[in-house]
């Protein structure tokens, strides 16, 4: 089908984007790879579309000694190809390379995927596990939100009207850090049915176990060190966190945790 | 409203005016009259429409033409003298990599990209990279063989990814000033079509449907809660987004329910019936609704029973539902359940507020609610519930 008609604004820099957002309510779009299908199916009917895919400030990635700050409109393919620096020495590249299909990765962006907030999306799970921080520009200036607090439910984020995600800062893990990210998909490119991302980084104290694709926002598991060391098994951790979770879902996500731990154990540092 | 579009198509400048909603595939085919690009699913799944935008394979059905101002676009027609594409075409022919040819433009584009980007790709890698392009007749073996064959001795790829120069953006696509923005078109108003009564689904037709079971806690006792629940109009007022289109007659209600979850917005219109069993404080709601713009449908059955819980009460809900049309593609069970939880919490809060005489909207404290992220199916269900409840 064809989308319902809408107005289209195209910003080339952040000021233009912010002016447009101040003027009226807009749906912000970059690659259009998630919103596009919904619009074509007429499930999404934005009145005004603000295209930020070419906004200069959002297209940069900046590396410092401690982190890499990705502009929100950096594409998955640019991360996959190493066109922009990877603060994790390859983990983000690997995660990016398994998002949907290459043609989608060429247009889809890290910020767009986060803001779309599909619970099964890769960055929605991976970025909280890496303790990423999201910078949001709004009428009152820039505020920062931890990635784990950014998505608050299916397709729902902390973004208020008039706000736009500017960048995603991912801290560099320590040299001894280990990583595992496993997702259950029955065919390449589909949304995952269960996923887990695990960072084991005792030197920085940023060890984390995140469970994704739950239908809700990503779940931060308590006592990650105990889960990583096997003192608490995945099923117990999940049942403790979400007591109402159906048994089959617990099992599927517990397997995701186990596989991510196995992957981490087998991966060279 | 039209927007100017200007880009290079296979080396030649193309200009034209298009509605903002026109996607690149339509513009290439209908305005630039280059019909080599095929449109299959038109939702970014099948890959038939894949073309090169600035040297990168792109799904032209979910890329807006207006977003391609200043771009360098190459379609299957633009490779006549490209040695690598020549080798790929020849190899597809030899390996029977096509039959009806519908997927072929997208396959050739993706094949070119695989060979250029991953010169040491093995069969498994080729298959993984090809997974975004669907073929319904030859199967993939011939296509994989064809690509593998070219990889043995591939000519250099003439087409490489490029960064679109910002200066190439035509003036027409510059961001508008605030004054222009305020003149922009508003969101389209909902359909004004009055929907005739829809036939209700059979109560026993949901045996294989998805089931959700929930218990909502109400602070009122069962007698008091039942008085509200057994009044269709009262219960409808506790369901956010739902309205009745007229009085409830013969146990049948017609109405509408606005639903939103993130970018998804829908307005379900439909019909429901409700049956009450006062002696057990239970009942059943049956309903069916349709969102006209997306042609998505929802039908469901809700069985409910009120039980005492100390001085308060619990309402046990068992919902069975079927989604059809485009919405079903986004209705993954885990998502629906989460959306339902949010919605039910809202309804329970509204019931409590109504019974205690407060404004039904005053007590809402959950941050998720203010984002209205959870209305999707449950609004529809609310709609059904209201309607059912109102149809005694």
Q: Residue B183: pLDDT above 80? A: no
pLDDT above 70 covers what percent of chain A?
99
Task: List chain B domain ranges.
Answer: 3-78, 83-152, 203-389
Choices 3.30.1490.20, 3.90.1150.10, 3.30.530.20, 3.40.50.1370: CATH for B203-389: 3.30.530.20
Model pLDDT, residue B52: 98
Model pLDDT, residue B370: 31
Model pLDDT, residue A23: 83
B327 touches chain A (CB under 8 A): yes
For residues B389 and A220, the model is more confident at A220
pLDDT above 90 covers what percent of chain B?
49
- Give contacts of A51 with chain B, Cβ < 8 Å: 64, 66-67
- Centre a 10 Å sphere on the Cβ of residue B360 and count the other Cβ atoms it contains: 19
* Nearest CA distance, B350 vs chain A (angstrom): 21
The kind and range of the H/E element at B322 are strand B312-324
Please give the C-alpha separations between residue B383 and each of B12, B271, B300, in angstroms, as whole numbers. Answer: 53, 9, 11
Model pLDDT, residue A130: 98
The mean pLDDT value for B203-231 works out to 88
The mean pLDDT value for A137-166 works out to 96
B50 touches chain A (CB under 8 A): yes
Question: Rounded mean pLDDT of chain B?
Answer: 83
Q: Residue B182: pLDDT above 50? A: no
For residues B356 and A159, what is the distance between their CA atoms, to the nearest angstrom? Answer: 33
Count how many pairs of residues, chain A against chain B, have C-beta atoms within 8 Å: 224
B263 touches chain A (CB under 8 A): yes
Instruction: State the DSSP string of A127-165.
Output: HHHTT-EEEEEETTEEEEEEHHHHEEETTEESPPTT-EE
Q: Per residue in B147-162, pLDDT tens?
A: 999 999 999 999 999 9
Q: Per residue in A73-109, pLDDT tens?
A: 999 999 999 999 999 999 999 999 999 999 999 999 9
The domain defined by B3-78 carries CATH number 3.10.20.30: yes
The mean pLDDT value for B117-135 works out to 97
The mean pLDDT value for A117-129 works out to 97
For residues A148 and A132, what is the distance between their CA atoms, to the nearest angstrom? Answer: 8
Q: Residue B168: pLDDT above 60? A: no
Closest residue of chain B to A157, computed from CA coordinates: B371
Alpha helix stretches (DSSP H) within chain A? 14-23, 35-40, 76-80, 91-97, 102-105, 110-116, 122-129, 147-150, 224-228, 234-241, 247-266
Please give the C-alpha separations between residue B140 and each of A153, B93, B121, B224, B258, in angstroms, as whole numbers. Answer: 39, 14, 16, 64, 43
Model pLDDT, residue B77: 97
The kind and range of the H/E element at B289 are strand B282-291
Which has the minimum average pLDDT: A106-115, B21-30, B354-363? Answer: B354-363
Q: Take residue B386 and report the two structure tokens written for it.
A: 């209201």
Q: Which residues of A5-81 form beta strands (DSSP E)?
A: 7-10, 27-29, 48-51, 61-63, 67-71
B164 touches chain A (CB under 8 A): yes
pLDDT above 70 covers what percent of chain B?
83
Which of B59, B67, B264 comes nearest A38 by C-beta? B264
Model pLDDT, residue B314: 93
The mean pLDDT value for A209-217 works out to 95
* Nearest CA distance, B176 vs chain A (angstrom): 7
- Give contacts of B369 with chain A, Cβ < 8 Å: none
Taking alpha carbons only, the member of A145, A146, A148, A149 closest to residue A136 is A145
Sign, CA torsion A238/A241/A243/A249? negative
- Centre a 10 Å sphere on the Cβ of residue A244 and count the other Cβ atoms it contains: 9
For residues A52 and B200, what is the distance between their CA atoms, to the nearest angstrom? Answer: 45
Model pLDDT, residue B358: 62
The mean pLDDT value for B167-191 works out to 40
Q: Residue B180: pLDDT above 90? A: no
Q: Which of A7, A27, A81 to mutate to test the interface with B (most CBs of B within 10 A)?
A: A7
Which has the minimum average pLDDT: A180-184, A203-207, B139-143, B198-202? Answer: B198-202
Model pLDDT, residue B167: 57
Sign, CA torsion A69/A72/A74/A79? positive
Residue A129 neighbours by CB under 8 Å, 6+ apart: A181, A197, A198, A199, A208, A209, A210
Q: Residue B376: pLDDT above 60? A: no
Model pLDDT, residue B356: 82
Which has the minimum average pLDDT: A94-103, A185-194, B71-80? Answer: A185-194
Model pLDDT, residue B239: 81
The mean pLDDT value for A206-210 works out to 97
pLDDT above 90 covers what percent of chain A?
94
Model pLDDT, residue B34: 97
Q: Check: CB of residue B284 under 8 Å from CB of residue B301.
A: yes
For residues B369 and A39, the model is more confident at A39
Q: Residue B184: pLDDT above 80? A: no
Buried b (16+ CB within 10 A) or exposed e, B184-219: beeeeebeeeebeebebbeeeebeebeebebebebb
Please give the C-alpha separations between residue B154 and each of B79, B107, B112, B292, in angstroms, as whole numbers. Answer: 15, 17, 10, 51
For residues B210 and A178, the model is more confident at A178
The mean pLDDT value for B229-256 works out to 84
The mean pLDDT value for B356-370 works out to 47
- Confidence bin at B199 (pLDDT 50/70/90): confident
Closest residue of chain B to A150, computed from CA coordinates: B368
For residues A109 and A122, what is the distance between their CA atoms, to the nearest angstrom? Answer: 12
Model pLDDT, residue A213: 95
Q: Per residue in B44-68, pLDDT tens?
A: 999 999 999 999 999 999 999 999 9
Question: Rounded mean pLDDT of chain A?
Answer: 95
Q: Residue A128: pLDDT above 70? A: yes
ipTM of the complex: 0.95
Q: Which CATH architecture does the domain made up of B83-152 adopt? A: Orthogonal Bundle (1.10)
C-alpha of A69 from chain center: 14
């Amino acid at each position: 089908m064809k989308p319902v008609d809408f107005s289209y604004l195209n910003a080339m820099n952040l000021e233009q984007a912010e002016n447009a957002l101040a003027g009226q309510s807009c749906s912000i779009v970059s690659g259009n790879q998630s919103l596009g299908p919904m619009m074509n199916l007429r499930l999404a009917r934005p009145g005004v579309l603000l295209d930020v895919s070419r906004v200069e400030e959002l297209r940069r990635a900046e590396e410092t000694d401690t982190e890499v700050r990705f502009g929100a409109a950096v594409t998955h393919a640019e991360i996959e190809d190493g066109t922009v620096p990877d603060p994790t020495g390859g983990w983000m590249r690997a995660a990016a390379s398994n998002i949907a299909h290459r043609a989608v990765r060429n247009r889809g962006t890290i910020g767009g995927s986060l803001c779309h907030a599909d619970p099964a999306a890769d960055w929605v799970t991976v970025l909280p596990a890496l303790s990423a921080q999201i910078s949001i520009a709004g009428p009152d200036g820039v505020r920062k939100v931890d990635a784990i607090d950014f998505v608050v439910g299916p397709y729902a984020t902390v973004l208020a009207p008039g706000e736009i995600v500017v960048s995603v800062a991912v801290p560099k893990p320590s040299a001894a850090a280990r990583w595992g990210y496993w997702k259950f998909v029955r065919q390449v490119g589909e949304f995952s049915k269960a996923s887990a991302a695990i960072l084991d980084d005792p030197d920085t104290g940023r060890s984390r176990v995140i469970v994704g694709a739950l239908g809700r926002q990503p779940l931060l598991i308590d006592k990650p060190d105990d889960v990583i060391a096997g003192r608490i098994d995945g099923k117990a951790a999940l049942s403790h966190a979400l007591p109402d979770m159906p048994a089959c879902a617990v099992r599927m996500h517990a397997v995701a945790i186990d596989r991510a731990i196995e992957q981490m154990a087998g991966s060279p540092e | 409203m039209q927007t100017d579009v200007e880009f290079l198509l296979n080396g030649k400048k193309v200009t034209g005016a298009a509605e903002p909603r026109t996607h690149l595939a339509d513009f290439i085919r209908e305005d630039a009259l280059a019909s080599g690009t095929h449109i299959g699913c038109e939702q970014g799944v099948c890959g038939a429409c894949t073309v090169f935008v600035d040297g990168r394979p792109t799904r032209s059905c979910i890329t807006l033409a207006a977003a391609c101002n200043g771009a360098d676009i190459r379609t299957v027609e633009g490779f006549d003298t490209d040695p690598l594409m020549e080798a790929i075409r020849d190899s597809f022919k030899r390996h029977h990599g096509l039959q009806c040819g519908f997927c072929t433009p997208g396959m050739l584009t993706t094949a070119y990209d695989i060979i250029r980007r991953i010169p040491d790709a093995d069969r498994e890698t080729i298959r993984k990279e090809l997974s975004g392009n669907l073929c319904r007749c030859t199967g993939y073996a011939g296509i994989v063989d064809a690509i593998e064959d070219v990889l043995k001795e591939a000519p250099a790829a003439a087409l490489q990814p490029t960064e679109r120069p910002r200066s190439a953006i035509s003036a027409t696509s510059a961001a508008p000033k605030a004054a222009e923005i305020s003149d922009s078109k508003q969101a389209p108003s909902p359909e004004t079509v009055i929907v005739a009564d829809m036939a209700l689904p059979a109560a026993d037709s949901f045996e294989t449907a998805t089931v959700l079971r929930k218990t909502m806690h109400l602070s009122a006792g069962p007698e008091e809660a039942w008085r509200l629940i057994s009044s269709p109009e009262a219960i409808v007022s506790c369901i956010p987004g739902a309205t009745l289109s007229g009085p409830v007659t013969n146990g049948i209600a017609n109405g509408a329910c606005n639903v939103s979850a993130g970018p998804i917005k829908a307005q379900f219109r439909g019909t429901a019936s409700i049956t009450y069993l006062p002696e057990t404080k239970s009942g059943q709601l049956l309903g069916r609704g349709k969102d006209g713009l997306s042609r998505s449908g929802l039908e469901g059955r809700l069985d409910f029973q009120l039980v005492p819980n100390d001085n308060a009460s619990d309402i046990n809900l068992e919902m069975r539902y079927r989604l059809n049309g485009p919405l079903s593609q986004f209705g993954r069970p885990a998502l629906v359940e989460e959306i339902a939880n949010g919605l039910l919490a809202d309804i329970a809060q509204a019931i409590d507020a109504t019974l205690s005489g407060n404004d039904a909207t005053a007590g809402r404290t959950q941050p998720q609610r203010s984002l209205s992220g959870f209305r999707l199916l449950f609004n529809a269900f609310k709609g059904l519930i209201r309607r059912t409840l109102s149809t005694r």
